[in-house]
Chains A and B, each alone.
Chain A
Amino acid sequence: MPKDGGIGASTTRREDVRFLTGKGKYTADINVFGQAAAIFVRSTVANGVIKSIDTSAAESMPGVLAVFTGEDFVDVGGNPAGWLINSRDGEPMKEPKRPVLAHGKVRHVGDAYAAVIAETEQQARDAAEEIIADIEELPAVINMADALAGDNYVHDEIGTNQCFDWGWIEDNRAATDEAIKNAPHVTTLELVNNRLVPNAMEPRASIGTYDAAGDSYLLQTTSQNPHLTRLLISAFVLGIPENKLTVIAPDVGGGFGSKIYHYGEEALVLAASKKVGRPVKWVADRTESFLSDAHGRDHVTKIELACEKDGTFIAFRSETLANVGAYLSNFSTATPTFLHGTLMAGNYTVPNVYVNVKTVFTNTAPVDAYRGAGRPEATYSIERVIDMAARELGMDPVELRRKNFIKRDQFPFTSAAGLEYDSGDYDALMDKMEAIVDRKAFEERRKASEAKGKLRGLGINAYVEACGIAPSNLVGVLGSRVGLYDAATVRVNATGNLSVMVGAHSHGQGHETVFPQIVADMLGIDPASVDIVHGDTSKIPFGMGTYGSRSLAVCGSAMVRATEKIIAKAKKIAAHMLEASADDVDFAEGQFTVKGTDKSVSFGEVALKAYIPHNYPLEDIEPGLEETAFYDPANFTYPSGAYACEVEVDPETGKVTIERFTACDDFGNVMNPMIVSGQVHGGVVQGIGQALLENTTYDENGQLLSASYMDYVMPRADDLPFIAVSHDGGTPCTHNPLGAKGCGEGGAIGSPPTVVNAVIDALQSGGKNVTHIDMPLTPARVWAAMNNA
């Protein structure tokens, strides 16, 4: 049993109190004395040449302080892509400049080409309407295949709409082709991984404050990683020295990827604050969020699975077109490549894998990492084609997967897609899932549904993913332009309580509760005496932020390392106090004890001694008790899972309802089961949303048809059942000190194919020869598929 409040306890969250009482401080809640308001003027056409922008009328409107256009930023840098991907022929990717405000051309509906700063938001809006922009509309590039075939370029200067043509692993291409050519059975599936809008409930917001006295800047912003934002603004966009720029991400209302990236609005409010000499605040409305937040997914894939007649897998081969939108967002080139292609062996011993990805510029909002980022796309492709193969081969879908699973005793296992999975037990997960689902009783449940006139289907799925991003040496080879370590400082205050400064940012993950559980457990103290400080670049050594299920595995590990340093130093101080050798001092339950004696001092006494170093060996030990560690993981972590979904389909309307959902995950060692379950619930429902509800639709002119909650279908409480979740007994990660694997994304990775597999099973049970429907499986699509079958 876990210690009360320590590692493994379902401690309730301390941060809840402020959120439940309305005392959270989100960026939009912050008002700075003297602040002015910024409003962005966004393109209403998807592709157009900016002939001229006349701001004179706007500038003379009441309350207007300044008007900016792209012209004002031609001399500053652009927002870069964080990963350099090379094409199969070795050519580096095409990397068009992404300016603060559109200049020369607008490239998607919502592309900001001007900004108005005024005393009030309404005055800024009034003035924005007086900006006269002469924009010559051009035909929009929307469909990816058309984009590659045509000569209408999103970025004229690169002379193509293809960003890169990537092969993974290129050296395996010929062998994979040969294996498929000679295979007794090949299942082929063409599918769409639908574009999604992340839709954190808090819209983006930023406040820029320039302090002329110190020539310094403060940016308060909705960010998952304030240090990266500072780095990008400093090194690439505005050139503000890092020591002159503080970035604070206060309470942030969800991210899911969309707030990883630096956006032009952040640079604008900083530059504007300097120009007008006032703090400048911008808060997006939801429509702006739909138009300008980075979107997710948007792959079109052909996947092939070659196998023996007995179902033994021989090869996976896939070809994917991945939409990057109009500009390269920070992680947009990593998402469809190294976060996708490397997972294309799935949980299987398949010997051959080859993945080809062509990324395509279109006149749509930029596409980047959204919860799961590349891995949901991989899992969806693999697990849908396996389900189809099982049907073609007349095999049970569970048995086909088991037949090809990497077995427990095969770890560490290097997959045919090049990753070394450190640990896992896929059969055990499947066993657990089957037990919870009670497959034997499924036929009875199906009959009960049929008696109501409904079709019932059972879909199952296995997944493995790579997260805890990321080993810097490895990702450096793969094209990353940053390191992906994290950092923590553990500061023991003189009176024995702790402030722990961490690079990970908490925006729903519960770090403020879980991280103290770990430190307190290690030190044998009350978790209430440990506080986490996050989200402020002026207080924290460094950090690469929260995404890719990395906070615990990477930043948590840094925190463990720093705490170990604290213990080591405290032991020396204790040894001095106890007049013993440090080697003879044991530390347990918050007490330093000389081995074999009853002589001991408490952690608190040692802390006080460190800050009041009287009778202290100053020549050997520095005063104070504060340690910093940077932790760079040796490998990704590899969570895995077995999921099951049961649906009912109304054959008259095509409406699908989720009747049961079971998620069995292996997240290694779990720090707080309650919070981990919450992560799974949320991820699963985002995956159900992708599978059944959410679609992002641009028309042929590049107008976003699903630009509000009136048309973009968010999962609601009444769309869902309770989710059965299990994550005990996981196989620990072998290379981080907590044995923990990332838990933030598994739900969103494992669930979409589970749902689609279930719907296909239901339709097949009703005699409909439907083998695939592209997500989202809306009632209209399901009905149409049934009627065309």
Chain B
Amino acid sequence: MASVTMTVNGKSVSGEVEGRTLLSDFLRNDLHLTGTHVGCDTSQCGACVIHVNGAAVKACTMFAVEADGTDVATIEGQANADGSLNVIQQAFQDHHGLQCGFCTPGMVMSAAALLKENPTPTEREVREYLEGNICRCTGYHNIVKAIMAASGQDVSAIAAE
């Protein structure tokens, strides 16, 4: 077992983990932050995307030990300080960018990373950035629309309802 300490959503946390403990397992089982989901075992689906030191990573493909000393952000820390939805979350709700909700945390975290790098992405750039996030419900239409809306772009002309 190894001791790890990291900052998660602004709070310092510590735990004892095995070498093989994935960061996603540490978040879910030790910290009870179950918003980070696990949808595959091959690092493809992206339901577990979080930020480590500001960069989007797949929490299921990183060991908890490797996150020792880092600053971790998960879906649970995304809302505004007053508990209201942040701009991206609100855009997902406004534009029906989620259905079953399982891929949603990863989508929101990927969107946040995208908009940090590229504040006004084109449709193509959004779609390409979501290459590592699989959604089975929405056909991505409203996810892409929501992310573009969150970036401040006018999405009213996007394909008929």
A–B touch (CB < 8 A): the answer is yes
Q: Interface size class for chain B?
A: 35 or more
| Contact status A199-B136, CB under 8 Å | yes
Inside 8 A of B120's CB, which chain A residues have their CB?
none
Whether A717 touches B133, Cβ cut-off 8 Å, given contacts A22-B34, A22-B75, A286-B41, is: yes
Which of A13, A15, A509, A723 is the one whose CB lies under 8 Å from B139? A723
Give the residue of B94, B96, B102 whose beta carbon is less than 8 angstroms from that of A677: B96
- Decide: A253 and B139 in contact? CB cutoff 8 A: no
Specify the chain A residue showing the minimal Cβ separation from B123: A722
Interface residues of A in 710-729 (CB under 8 A from B): 710, 714-718, 720, 722-726
Residue contact B76 to A22, C-beta cutoff 8 Å: yes
- Known interface pairs A31-B29, A200-B100; 17 further A-B residue pairs with C-beta atoms within 8 A, sorted by A's residue number: A17-B85, A20-B93, A20-B98, A21-B89, A24-B101, A201-B47, A286-B41, A286-B42, A673-B161, A675-B96, A681-B138, A681-B139, A709-B45, A709-B134, A714-B136, A717-B130, A718-B124
B101 partner, pick from A251, A286, A683, beta carbons under 8 A: A251
Chain B residue, CB-CB nearest to A664: B160
Instruction: Tell whether A709 pairs with B42 under 8 Å between CB atoms, given A722-B158, A723-B159.
Output: yes
Interface assignment of A26: CB less than 8 Å from any CB of chain B: yes
| A residues at B contact (CB < 8 Å) | 10, 12-13, 15-26, 28-29, 31, 122, 199-203, 251-254, 256, 285-287, 436, 507-510, 673-675, 677-678, 681-686, 708-710, 714-718, 720, 722-726, 747
Q: Which residues of A contact B134 (CB under 8 A)?
A: 201, 709, 714, 716
Whether the pair B135, A722 counts as a contact (CB closer than 8 A) is no
**Chain B residues engaging chain A, CB cutoff 8 angstroms:** 20, 28-29, 33-42, 44-45, 47, 74-76, 78-79, 85, 89, 92-94, 96, 98-105, 108, 123-124, 126-128, 130-131, 133-145, 158-161
A18→B100 CA distance, assembly (Å): 11
CB distance from B141 to the nearest CB of A (A): 4
Question: Which 7 pairs from chain A and chain B are nearest by CB?
Answer: A22-B35, A19-B101, A253-B102, A685-B139, A508-B99, A508-B100, A709-B44
Other-chain residue from B79, B92, B136 in contact with A686 (beta carbon distance below 8 A) = B136
B85 CB contact (under 8 Å) in A21, A31, A251, A717: A21
Q: Are A17 and B93 in contact (CB under 8 A)?
A: yes
Contact A201 B102 (CB under 8 A): yes
B11 to chain A, nearest CB (A): 15
A685–B99 alpha-carbon span in the complex (Å)? 14
How long is the Cα–Cα vector from A509 to B79 in the complex, in angstroms? 24
Contact of B159 with A718 in the complex, beta carbons under 8 Å: no
User: Please, which residues of chain B bring their CB within 8 A of the CB of A510?
Assistant: 99
Q: A253-B101, A508-B99, A708-B42 are in contact. Are A718 and B136 (CB under 8 A)?
A: no
Least CB separation from A255: chain B residue: B100
User: Which residues of chain B come closer than 8 Å to A25, judged between CB atoms?
Assistant: 34
Q: Of A10, A15, A199, A722, which contacts B159 at CB under 8 A?
A: A722
Q: Is the CB of A717 within 8 A of B131?
A: yes
> B127 to chain A: closest CB distance in Å?
4
Tell me if B35 and A709 are in contact (CB < 8 A).
no
Contact A682 B41 (CB under 8 A): no
- Asked if A725 meets B159 with Cβ closer than 8 Å, knowing A15-B101, A708-B40, the reply is yes
Is B139 a contact partner of A29 (Cβ separation < 8 A)? Answer: no
Find A508's partner among B36, B78, B101 (CB 8 Å cutoff). Answer: B101
Tell me which of B39, B76, B127, B134 has the highest count of chain A C-beta atoms within 10 A of its own C-beta: B39
* Contact present for B34 and A285 (CB under 8 Å): no
Query: Looking at the complex, which one of B75, B79, B96, B160 makes contact with A674 (CB distance below 8 Å)?
Result: B96
In the assembled complex, the CB of B161 is this many whole angstroms from the nearest CB of chain A, namely 5
Given contacts A17-B85, A678-B138, A720-B127, contact A22 B102 (CB under 8 A): no
Quick check: B36 and A22 within 8 Å, CB to CB?
yes
Tell whether, in the assembled complex, residue B96 and residue A201 are in contact, meaning their CB atoms are under 8 Å apart: no
Cα separation A685 to B135 with both chains bound (whole Å): 10
**B108 nearest CB across to chain A (Å):** 6
Kindly provide the distance from the CB of A200 to the nearest chain B CB, expressed in whole angstroms. Answer: 6
Report whether A22 and B41 are in contact in the complex, using a CB–CB cutoff of 8 Å: no
Residues of A within 8 A of B131 (CB): 716-718
The residue of chain A having its C-beta at the shortest distance from the C-beta of B140 within the complex is A717
- A317 vs chain B, min Cβ distance (A): 34
Residue with the highest number of chain A CB atoms closer than 10 Å, among B37, B42, B100, B143: B100
Q: Is the CB of A254 within 8 A of B102?
A: yes
* Cβ contact within 8 Å between B100 and A253: yes
Q: List 9 A-B contacts (CB under 8 A).
A: A20-B89, A21-B76, A21-B89, A22-B78, A23-B35, A253-B37, A253-B100, A717-B133, A718-B130
| Assembled-state Cα–Cα distance A22/B158 (Å) | 28
Interchain CB contact under 8 A, A201 and B79: no
**A725/B161 contact (C-beta < 8 A), A23-B35, A508-B99 known:** yes
Contact partner of A708 among B41, B136, B159, CB < 8 A?
B41
Question: Considering only CB atoms, which chain B residue lies closest to A10 in the complex?
Answer: B161
With CB as the reference atom, state the residue of chain A lying closest to B141: A681
